[in-house]
Amino acid sequence: MSHDLPFKVKKSFTIVVLLLVSVVSSLAQDRLTFTGSFQGGANWFLEDEEIGAANTPQYDDELVGVEAWLDLAFQYKGYKLGLRGDFFRNTNLLNPNGAYSDEGLGRWYLSKTIDKFELQAGHIYDQIGSGLIFRAYEERPLLIDNALIGGRVKYTPWPNVEAKIMAGKQKNLFGQYESLIRGGQVEGSFQLGKDKKWNLIPGFGVLNRSWSDGQVDDLISSLKTYTPQDSIGAYFHNWSFSAYNTLSYGPISFYVEGAFKTQDVYFDPDAERALYGGGSTLGRFANDDGSIYYGALTYGAKGFSFSLSGRRTKNFAYRADPFASLNRGLVNYLPPMSRLNSARLKARYTPAARDISEKALQLELRYTFNKRLKMVQYFSHISELDGTILYREFDNELTFRKDRFLQVSGGIQVQNYNQELYEGKTGVPLIRTVVPYFEVQKRLKKRQSIRIQAQYMLSDQDFGSWLFALAEFNVAPHWSFSFSDMYNVKAKKTDDLHYPRADVTYNFKTYRFSLSYLKQVEGVVCAGGICRLEPAFSGFRFSTFSTF
Amino acid sequence: MSRSLIIAGVLFLLVASCTKKQPQYQLVRPSAGDRVVLVEEFSGALCPNCPQGTAELESLKELYGDQLIILTIHAGDFAFKFEDSKYDFATTAGDELLDLLGNPLGYPSGVVNRKPEGAQDGYQQFASRWSSSIANSIADSATIGIDQEISFDADTRQLEVTVNILPLEASDRSLRLTVAIKEDKIVDPQADRAAAGGVVKEYVHKNVLREVLTLAEGDLLEGPISAFSNITKTYRFTLPPEDGWWKAQNCHVVSFVTFESSEDALGEVLQATESPISE
């Protein structure tokens, strides 16, 4: 549940900015520093019913969706003041099928450092440990802004030890969730041994989330309709704890973290629930404690390096509101246990982290045979705790650098992807793909270079097989042009359609402008028992980013 | 003298009678009855999670009985046929209702009494929230009474619906009346993630919106509205011939009254009623 800021508060942002500009002018002689950034994006929707780019408000009526963020930061005599204006007009970031419009003060903060203390009030981005129990962060492409609206005190008694406590409520668009979040962390950094080659960075964090009366009343309204055998208790308070440590010695680094959550009511979309009318359905509130164990080992030496990480997650759905779902109201952050592929077809099936039942292991091996030849091998294996396969990936990539003008790389990726569980598509088989890929980068002459990329996805499931090709021409330091096409070779769901894309990017000092024309294939994504269609896109896309 | 005494006596009696308290009484006023809550559930034959939502609503119907009316609207991302589907549940009115109530973030989704309370964005709510919102809405008092008289000729399949609306409070705002037909017991394939193979071939669809006899956003009942001033509207519709569906004995008429929507907000459902077309 959210509370919108008063209309006047939103509108007063412009006045505040103007006042601050005048303050900046008057205080310039007192070494006031002023920095800022601007990020903007616009989509121009062009209906294309053949690929399914149709029937959203943008295609029907609105035609253009816009989003923009203006960040301003001021520093003066130890004080820091930050303001951010957010603007959304018919954007599809919040709901891919809807148009969201609003504007106002998206963030403000004021901080001051006094001796060993740093005090901050306002919107805070922070995390405890690696974020397993708490992370307040922003992810603009998904319109995630989980800032903590409240206060934080950091205390640094010694240079190598820092403690912090914070309290507040999680931001929800221009409002906030009702629950109260309080937490703290102590972290140190120590060097051990005679030659101080052993480094330890231990830490401990704790978090308390208290639901409001209204949230508990709403929850009870739901729970009291359950049959006696499914009845569970409800609590105002929940506690979570995290202990972690990084141990490094020479080329070896080992990070380990354990997180524990006390009994907490969360919605389990796969839990069976009895109905009064007989029979059962899937999806009910559960009340369990939860745990996460995470470890990462890295080794780096000349010619060879590797990183190995694993995580086990059980009942760790953690929300600021018991009814929040999808990517809303997330208190913590679980990064996916597979690497983010940038190549279009290699990234087509990407597994999201699952917070109720998951065990995952990934390994990356990097070999440098000589100055010219490198190889990367990657393995990932993700399953549910009962052993049900969720995702497997193997990738082997070779890079050959002939000279400073020519570099060639290529490899093969093999994937298994459980579409049934990741996307909620019942009865579909495990998707098996084999993706051979190839890339050439060549410097043509001074400041000019070209990049050619080709990928082929061999699959008998879902949409079938795909062919992707890209050509990119760069004129440093300002211009980049690219054209690509994704073609459904052996189409199983639609006609054998093309999905072309053309991009022009211009960089000038700290300004970046990009204009694209693209057609993007649709896909259904289901999480937490909720299906969400990421619709096909057809149209122009403009984006810009600048700092000043 | 005696005449004077008589006049004085009459005057005394008159004055004395004026000092007597005027008798007080309360008007007997009609009641709007219990608050009835309308859930407009958005679904689709290809939606694998939607049967779970439907089961949730059916379970709540067991608890709340006549105080809960379910209208299942097949519209949006999953409202398409399987290759072996016999029926297309999507309707023009359903699409218009989706436009009116807003695209949800995911399916199943529902709008409870057109109130934004608890909604993720706009008015649409995920299934986990429905029971809480229904319980809250049922606790509201009814400010409008609504009942309907159904007349159906089985031979001509002519349906006549007369809706009587009785506001219990005066209001400057206009009202809207929506009259819809829904049908139960339609057997056709439905995606279901809990089923082996992901599809129930002979799924029994319930509460399926078939037709709206008014405008999708409701016919305007222009304000100001006077308290206890009855408003009557009559609608006629000929049921299409039976073809596995449009079975009169499985059809119900749902009528509900909302406030007229403003630029910023939808008009809340004030009261609703449901009656079978044919017993």
Residue with tokens 């004129």: A475
User: What does the pLDDT average to over B104-127?
Assistant: 84
Q: Under the phi-then-psi rule, with left for phi > 0, alpha for psi from -120 to 50, and beta for the rest, what region is A252?
A: beta
Return the pLDDT at A527.
47
Q: What percent of chain A has pLDDT over 90?
A: 66
Return the pLDDT at A468.
96
Question: Which has more pLDDT, A16 or A508?
Answer: A508
Contact A454, A469 (CB under 8 A): yes
Q: Which of A110-119, A306-315, A349-358, B206-215 has the lowest mean pLDDT?
A: A349-358
Q: Which of A101, A141, A145, A102 is nearest to A123 (CA)?
A: A145
Is the pLDDT at A6 greater than 50? The verdict is no
Tell if the CB–CB gap between A222 and B132 is shorter than 8 Å: yes
Q: What is the 3-state secondary structure (H, E, C) of A172-241?
A: ECCEECCCEEEEEEEEECEEECCCCCEEEEEEEEEEEEECCHHHHHHHHHHHCCCCHHHCCCCCCEEEEE
Question: Which of the four CATH numbers 2.60.40.10, 3.40.630.10, 1.10.645.10, 3.60.15.10 does domain B33-276 have?
Answer: 2.60.40.10
Q: Which of residues 194-213 of B touch A (CB under 8 A)?
A: 194-199
Q: Which residues of A touch B194 (CB under 8 A)?
A: 281-282, 426
Return the pLDDT at B247.
95
In the structure, what pLDDT confidence band is assigned to residue B15 with cuts at 50, 70 and 90?
A: low
Q: Which of A287, A207, A190 is nearest to A243 (CA)?
A: A207
Task: Tell me the C-alpha to C-alpha distance, in Å, between residue A179 and each of A134, A330, A400, B199.
Answer: 14, 12, 54, 39
Distance of alpha carbon A307 from alpha carbon A366, whole angstroms: 9
Is the pLDDT at A8 greater than 50? The verdict is no
Return the pLDDT at A132.
95
Task: Convert the pLDDT of each residue in B226-277 to its tens digit.
Answer: 888 889 999 999 999 998 899 999 999 999 999 998 877 889 999 999 999 9
Torsion over CA of A130, A134, A140 and A141, rounded to 10 degrees?
Answer: 70
For all residues of chain A together, what is the average pLDDT? 89
Q: Which of residues 204-263 of B touch A (CB under 8 A)?
A: none
Please check whether residue B129 touches A, CB under 8 A.
yes
The dihedral sign for the CA sequence B165, B166, B168, B174: positive
Distance of alpha carbon A145 from alpha carbon A282, whole angstroms: 30
Return the pLDDT at B1.
53
Please check whether residue B116 touches A, CB under 8 A.
no
Distance of alpha carbon A486 from alpha carbon A469, whole angstroms: 7
Q: What angle do CA A432, A419, A502 make, to 5 degrees?
A: 80
Strands annotated E in B192-249:
199-205, 208-212, 219-221, 231-238
Is the pLDDT at A335 greater than 80? The verdict is yes
Distance of alpha carbon A73 from alpha carbon A527, whole angstroms: 37
Task: Convert the pLDDT of each residue in A428-439 to its tens digit.
Answer: 889 999 999 999
Rounded to a whole number of angstroms, the CA Rg of chain A reads: 25
Tell if the CB–CB gap between A530 and B49 is shorter than 8 Å: yes
Please check whether residue B104 touches A, CB under 8 A.
yes
Is the pLDDT at A504 greater than 80? The verdict is yes
Q: Which residues of B touch A1 (CB under 8 A)?
A: 117-118
Please check whether residue A531 touches B, CB under 8 A.
yes
Q: Around Cβ A117, how many Cβ atoms within 10 Å?
A: 11
Which of B103, B120, B127 is the closest to A56 by Cβ?
A: B103
Tell if the CB–CB gap between B48 and A57 is shorter than 8 Å: no
Residues with Cβ within 8 Å of A315's Cβ and at least 6 positions away in sequence, in order, are: A261, A266, A286, A288, A289, A290, A291, A356, A357
The alpha helices in A28-68, defined as continuous H runs, are 57
A68 forms beta bridges with A40, A87
Helices and strands in chain B: count of H runs, count of E runs: 4, 14
Domain ranges of chain B: 33-276
Return the residue of B nearest to A529 by Cα.
B49
In the structure, what pLDDT confidence band is assigned to residue A2 with cuts at 50, 70 and 90?
A: very low
In the structure, what pLDDT confidence band is assigned to residue A275 with cuts at 50, 70 and 90?
A: confident
Task: Convert the pLDDT of each residue in A215-270 to its tens digit.
Answer: 998 888 888 888 888 888 888 899 999 999 999 999 999 999 999 999 999 998 88
The predicted complex's ipTM stands at 0.75
